[in-house]
Every structure is written in structure tokens, then in C-alpha cells.
């Protein structure tokens, strides 16, 4: 599969949110979408990143942005993560790995010398017309929302 780059059409998708509702990328037309991929609910780096988006959510919304988090965890896991950390945005359950594969973030990872397949942390900023405006490959979990704002500045 070709690697996505800025200017490409964002792959469309339908996935269930934390409440089991079907969410499509198309329903956010006219808004900028921060589509961020993270490995696992309630792990240290993922919690730091989610809480950074939470803490800056109002200023992102004020700039016409919608935040969508994606991991391969299921809805129940997302519900717990959201309620534990008061997350005000939608988390998508990509249990069949269709979105992570479409966006090229599913791949080989290495932890303590052990290789395994998993979600690579990456953020896509999608413009009002459904095109990829920016891709943040090296996400700073403590400053994820700041990286988005700088990419758009």
C-alpha cells in the first residue's frame, strides 16, 4: 500500500464510537478533523496524549476542529478510558483494523527486543474537504495538541 502524504484524499471509513454509534469521516465535512492514532487505551503515553487533547479541546473546537481518537480497542475499553479521564471527544473502535491499515499506521513494533504488530502513534489533520492537510509522524504525547496548532499555523 502507498504511504499517505499531505494532499492525499483521506481514506473514508465507518467505525463504531465508544457508544456503539456508527461514525463516518464524511459526517465531518466542513470541519477540520484531528484523527489521531494511538496504541492502547489507558497506557501511560496514550493517556498523556488523550489528556493533552482533553485539556486543549475547547481551543481546538473554537478553531473549527473535531478530535477523533482511533485504536484497535473495543467500545467497552473506550468507555472506561473516557470516563476515567473525562475525555470530551469521540474514540473510534477499530477492532477489525480497517482504519489503521487504510492509514498505514498498523505495523511492526519492537519492545524490549520483542517484535509484534501494533498501532504506530500518528496524527492526521484532515481539512474541510476531506484531504490530508498534515501528518505528524513523531507525536509528542505531552504536546500533541500544540503540534497540531503549529502544523496549521
Predicted confidence (pLDDT) per residue in 32-57, tens digit: 999 999 999 999 999 999 999 999 99
CA distance 25 to 36: 13
| Residues whose CB is less than 8 angstroms from the CB of residue 56 and which lie 6 or more positions away in sequence, other chains included | 145, 146
Q: 30-152 has which CATH code?
A: 3.40.30.10
Nearest-angstrom CA–CA distance, 39 and 11:
20
For the entire predicted model, the pTM comes to: 0.95
Determine the Cα–Cα distance for residues 75 and 32; give it in Å rounded to an integer. Answer: 24
Residues with active-site annotation:
46
Q: What is the mean pLDDT of the chain?
A: 95
Give the model confidence (pLDDT) of 9-34 as tens digits.
Answer: 999 999 999 999 999 999 999 999 99
**Which pLDDT belongs to residue 133?**
96
Where residue 2 falls among pLDDT bands split at 50, 70, 90? low
What pLDDT, on the 0 to 100 scale, is given for residue 4? 95
Q: Where are the beta strands (DSSP E) in the chain?
A: 14-17, 22-24, 32-37, 65-71, 90-93, 106-111, 114-119, 122-126, 132-136
Of 36-40, 47-51, 65-69, 149-153, least confident by mean pLDDT is 149-153
Calpha distance 144→147 (Å, rounded): 5
Conformation bin of residue 150: beta by default, left when phi > 0, alpha when psi is -120 to 50: alpha
Label residues 103-137 b or e (16+ Cβ within 10 Å = b).
Answer: bbbbeeeeeeeeeeebbbbbbbbbbeebebbbbbe
pLDDT tens digits, one per residue of 82-104: 999 999 999 999 999 999 999 99
Average pLDDT estimate for 107-134: 94
pLDDT tens readout for residues 127-137: 999 999 999 99
Q: What are 4's three cell numbers? A: 499517505
pLDDT in the model for residue 152 = 87
| CA-based torsion, 61, 147, 20, 15: positive or negative | positive
Domain boundaries, the chain: 30-152
C-alpha distances out from residue 114 to 19, 37, 67, Å: 34, 22, 32
Amino acid at each position: 500500500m502507498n504511504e499517505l502524504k499531505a494532499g492525499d484524499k483521506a481514506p473514508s471509513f465507518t467505525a463504531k464510537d465508544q457508544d456503539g454509534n456508527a461514525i463516518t469521516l464524511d459526517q465531518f465535512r466542513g470541519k477540520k478533523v484531528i484523527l489521531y492514532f494511538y496504541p492502547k487505551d489507558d497506557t501511560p503515553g496514550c493517556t498523556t496524549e488523550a489528556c493533552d487533547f482533553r485539556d486543549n479541546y475547547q481551543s481546538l473546537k473554537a478553531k473549527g476542529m473535531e478530535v477523533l481518537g482511533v485504536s484497535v480497542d473495543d467500545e467497552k475499553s473506550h468507555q472506561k478510558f473516557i470516563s476515567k479521564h473525562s475525555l470530551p471527544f469521540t474514540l473510534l473502535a477499530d477492532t477489525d483494523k480497517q482504519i489503521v491499515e487504510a492509514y498505514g499506521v498498523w505495523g511492526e513494533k519492537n519492545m524490549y527486543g520483542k517484535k509484534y504488530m501494533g498501532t504506530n502513534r500518528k496524527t492526521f489533520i484532515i481539512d474541510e474537504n476531506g484531504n490530508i492537510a498534515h501528518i505528524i509522524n513523531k507525536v509528542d504525547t505531552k504536546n500533541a495538541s500544540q503540534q497540531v496548532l503549529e502544523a496549521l499555523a
